């Protein structure tokens, strides 16, 4: 069962602050991606395309770490560790929602044949100044 996010963590996630996703490569080394993030209750949400390295890594090992950094004060951050689960991003709803949050417009087109997924992270641990 996931943890309840603090009000300060919620404020960071709900703000227009970028996040860094860390996954584990097949050889055990870390892989990171800067990304947009949202939430549903106490779960983190983001969108990616099947076949990307982070997608392949999460299929093999769903343990992730997501650090959300306040754009106005980078020393204010929260690291959220948890387990990722992926489902189809029907109609690109998650991708569109995040694009409007961060860019104020619809996202650009994906490559032909790209399949988008919603990644839902159940947060099991929080650390950092906003934890």
Whole-number Å distance between alpha carbons of 76 and 8 = 9
Residue whose pair of structure tokens reads 């387990």 in the numeric block:
83
Among candidate residues 61, 53, 37, the one with its CA nearest the CA of residue 119? 37
What separation in angstroms does the CA of 21 have from each of 11, 34, 105, 119? 18, 6, 23, 11
**pTM recorded for the entire structure:** 0.94
Residues 54-74 pLDDT 10s: 999 999 999 999 999 999 999
Residues 89-110 pLDDT 10s: 999 999 999 999 999 999 988 8
Assess contact for 43 and 121: CB atoms under 8 A.
yes
pLDDT of 131 higher than 80: no
Mind listing the domains of the chain with CATH numbers?
7-127 (2.30.110.10)
């Amino acid at each position: 069962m996931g943890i309840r996010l603090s009000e300060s963590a919620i404020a960071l996630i709900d703000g227009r602050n970028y996040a860094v996703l860390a996954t584990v490569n097949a050889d055990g080394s870390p892989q990171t991606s800067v990304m947009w993030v949202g939430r549903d209750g106490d779960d983190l949400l983001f969108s990616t395309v099947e076949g990307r390295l982070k997608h392949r890594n999460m299929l093999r090992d769903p343990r992730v770490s997501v650090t959300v950094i306040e754009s106005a004060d980078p020393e204010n951050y929260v690291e959220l560790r948890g387990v990722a689960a992926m489902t189809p991003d029907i109609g690109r709803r998650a991708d569109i929602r995040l694009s409007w949050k961060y860019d104020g417009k619809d996202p650009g087109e994906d490559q032909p044949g790209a399949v988008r997924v919603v990644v839902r992270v159940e947060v099991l641990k929080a650390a950092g100044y906003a934890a």
